Structure 1
Amino acid sequence: MSILIEREWMAASREMKRPTKESRLRKEDWVRAAYSTLSDSGWKSLNVEALAKRLGVTKGSFYWHFKDRNDLLDEILLRWHDQLVITRAEANGGSPADKIRFMLDIVATSKRPGRGGSLELAMRIWARQDPKVATVVESVDQQRLSYTADLFQQAGFDPAEANARALLLFSYIFAQGLLSFAGNTAVMERLHTQCRALIEGH
């Protein structure tokens, strides 16, 4: 084999072994794309073709990770149910008051303000059409409120007051993303300060 042919053969071999964009995509990438699509366009837009186009790959890549569209939808619900906000609050640690403050500050420090509210709204619209999703949404709401009300009780509030403040906290967290002035930093900072004082105050 001549040196030239050998070099060409080695180059071709490396090209064949080089991972493509599709082979590098993880299951997490598809789920994140699905969440973005759900937030932007609603649950009816959650189809394989649209997600593949969003990621810039072919549909074949999807089937490395999911059996079908329903498998993806189940994964979306499972991960949403895992409650990242609660997981993050626990990982942050501190006293019950520290965890409450951390959950409130997620709103102020979000790099994508409004995304959480859009996803919440999309999930609830989807739940109106699908009993399975409705069951998950109800379970998530109960989990959030129970966890947060318990924090308020540990912080010294009686059960009725703790439940009311837990409901107010999550109403604020998710409603702020739906407000028309959510992109106005000055207004949102004032709103955050006032809501934090109201929710945390004794």
Structure 2
Amino acid sequence: MTAARRPRLTPDDWLTAGLDALSESGPGALGAEPLARRLGTTKGSFYWHFADVPAYSAALLALWQAAAKTALDTPDDDPAAARLRAAAQAIAAPDPGATQAAEPAIRAWAATEPQAAQAVAATDACRLDHLGAALAACGIANPDMARIILGAAIGMQALGAPDANRNAIGSLVDLVLALR
């Protein structure tokens, strides 16, 4: 009798496991060995998909950056205020299990890992541009307002309670829009 074959792991399987491991245990869990144990496989499978741990880390960060950018997408025909609210809510209250839900762990990692720090800085710059453009479309030109909304949204991630965060950041957006 032969043993049942396990399905072949994909790069996405490894990246999803990495986001979970990073969120649960920190950056020390991003090595080939701990990830292989987590997935019940060998390190060979890891190295089949990634040249080394730095290449894996780069792919993990690229996945997070892409998801963070995609989360800002709203239909262009939505009113500017709705786009602003949706973007702020996507940052403050990512869906549980979504790639961007690992953001607090990625930000903590960025304190000691230059590659992660660059990804966070680039993502924050993209978000500031997006929020600033939405604010400008609403008639608010003060760039500090985009920083205030982004800072509040990032801070809310640490509070948990996505529904409460979604409501709170929505209230902040309403307050800023009332300044028009």
Short-chain TM bin: 0.7 to 0.9
1:57-76 matched pairs, under 5 angstroms = 57-76=41-60
1:38-187 matched pairs, under 5 angstroms = 38-82=22-66, 84-93=67-76, 94-106=78-90, 110-112=94-96, 116=100, 119-158=102-141, 160=142, 163-179=143-159, 182-183=160-161
Compute the displacement of 1:166 (Å): 1.6
Change (3 A) 1:155 1:52: same
Query: What is residue 17 of structure 2 aligned with on the other side?
Result: 33
Give me the whole-angstrom Cα distance separating, in 2, the residues matched to 1:137 and 1:108: 15
Q: Which structure: larger Rg?
A: 1
Change (3 A) 1:190 1:124: closer
Give me the whole-angstrom Cα distance separating, in 2, the residues matched to 1:130 and 1:55: 24
Compute the displacement of 1:199 (Å): 3.8
Compute the displacement of 1:190 (Å): 5.5
Query: What is residue 174 of structure 2 aligned with on the other side?
Result: 197
TM-score (norm 1): 0.71
Compute the displacement of 1:27 (Å): 0.9
Task: Work out the percentage of aligned pairs sharing the same amino acid.
Answer: 26
Q: Where do 5+ consecutive residues of structure 2 fail to align? A: none
Quick check: 1:115–1:177 contact (8 Å CA) kept in 2? no
1:9-28 matched pairs, under 5 angstroms = 20-21=6-7, 23=8, 25-28=9-12
Quick check: 1:42–1:122 contact (8 Å CA) kept in 2? yes
Give me the whole-angstrom Cα distance separating, in 2, the residues matched to 1:140 and 1:184: 21
Which whole-Å deviations, capped at 9, do the CAs of 1:31-53 have from their partners, x for residues lacking one? 11111111222112211122122
Give me the whole-angstrom Cα distance separating, in 1, the residues matched to 2:93 and 2:119: 27
Query: What is residue 3 of structure 1 aligned with on the other side?
Result: none
Change (3 A) 1:95 1:116: same
Compute the displacement of 1:75 (Å): 0.7
Write the letter of the residue equivalent to 2:59.
E
Compute the displacement of 1:100 (Å): 1.2
TM-score (norm 2): 0.78
Change (3 A) 1:38 1:92: farther
Q: Where do 5+ consecutive residues of structure 1 fail to align? A: 1-11
Which whole-Å deviations, capped at 9, do the CAs of 1:62-93 have from their partners, x for residues lacking one? 122111212101111222333x2432333544
- Does 1 or 2 have the higher relative contact order (CA < 8 Å, sep 6+)? 2
